[in-house]
Amino acid sequence: MTDIAVDMPWLKTSWQTVQERLADGRFPHALLVTGESGVGKRAWADAVSELLLCTSPLNSEAGAPVACGRCRQCELVAASSHPDVRAFSPEKSRMIRVDQVRSLSEFAVSSPQVAERKVAIIDRADQLNINAANALLKTLEEPAPDFVLLLLQESGRPVLPTIRSRCQVVPLPVPSAGQANEWLTRKVAGLDSENRPSAEQLAKALMLAGNAPRLALEYATGEFPGLRDEAFNKFREFMRGQVAVADAAKAFKALGLEDMLWLFEGWAADLARLCAGGQPADPEAVEMLGFLARNNPAWCAHELLDQVRDARAAGVYNVNPELEASRLLIAWRNLMPRKRRG
Ligand SMILES: [Zn+2]
């Protein structure tokens, strides 16, 4: 038996809604699942697929339906090879294209192959290009009775209102620091000792991920923290006038556009918090950001946030990450008091 509310307790409320809807036979034909990067949106959607297709669901302790984890359908879903479950995500262009949505629409009206119904997941509905979003509307307006669509949206990234209004919205929260730490510790416990991150590394990964556990797992076991530290050091040196912008931009380029923008966004948000008398999320940046907050009006931080959003929107068209990094670094540098900048 698989129960996501046990593995990821912060998803319990949203999960109960699904179980109740299913028990009542009122399951919506389209859900828009929203949440921060790394809170478990995809894991949640996979669990919903399994529960929707399971042929012999069991009752949880609370009497709600849970997937058995043993039937043929559950096995196929767990192996990511169920022919009646399809996932669509952005391809090279970083967008979901219209031909992917056309193939989704054909899948939606086809007969299920081995299950009673079909499930499609759009992983990053906020990355549908405009033609793709329009093509999807038809599928949403005339839903096939044996088809469920799960759209995943990252917080802060817009989805067209015409799409949003045709879905039931399910927000997934970020776990508490304790829940996130407990989940992460459990996930890395299975790694052999030389690859297992230390408690200190886990704490840092959780800090960088804002307690989004799946993102923290990626950070704890991947190269991101090292690259981030290198970029952060170059950032500080650049602000003090010790390295050229091209040098600093190279360190950011190594992160890739998405992660780089995410870092700049985090620091700009921290600067806005400090300007408003609050606490930053990234304690390592507090000294530099505190100095900037004391020397600049609060609207500067919001301007930086706008610039990150502009860069992200432009990112759809394959911008040069190094150039975007230079542009953002110079905008930050302009916040340094004149005599310090010399
Ligand atoms: Zn089953």
Nearest of 54, 57, 43, 37 to residue 15 by alpha carbon: 43
pLDDT in tens, 1-31: 668 888 999 999 999 999 999 888 889 999 9
With 80 as the cut, is the pLDDT of residue 94 above it? Answer: no
With 70 as the cut, is the pLDDT of residue 92 above it? Answer: no
pLDDT in tens, 278-313: 988 888 899 999 999 999 999 999 999 999 988 888
CA of 74 to the centre of ligand 1 (A): 4
CA of 49 to the centre of ligand 1 (A): 11
With 50 as the cut, is the pLDDT of residue 46 above it? Answer: yes
Mean per-residue pLDDT of the chain:
92
pLDDT, position 2:
67
pLDDT in tens, 57-91: 998 877 888 999 999 999 999 999 999 999 999 87
CA of 15 to the centre of ligand 1 (A): 17
pTM for the model stands at: 0.82
Q: What is the mean pLDDT of residues 110-122?
A: 96
CA of 82 to the centre of ligand 1 (A): 12
The long-range contacts involving 217-226, CB below 8 angstroms and separated by at least 24 positions, are 217/184, 217/187, 217/188, 218/38, 220/184, 220/188, 221/188, 221/191, 221/195, 221/197, 224/255, 224/259, 225/201
CA of 55 to the centre of ligand 1 (A): 5
Burial class (CB in 10 A: 0-12, 13-18, 19+), 198: exposed
Instruction: Supply φ then ψ for residue 58, to 5 degrees.
Output: -100, 175
CA of 63 to the centre of ligand 1 (A): 16
- Report whether 128 contacts 122 (CB < 8 A): yes
CA of 73 to the centre of ligand 1 (A): 6
CA of 293 to the centre of ligand 1 (A): 55
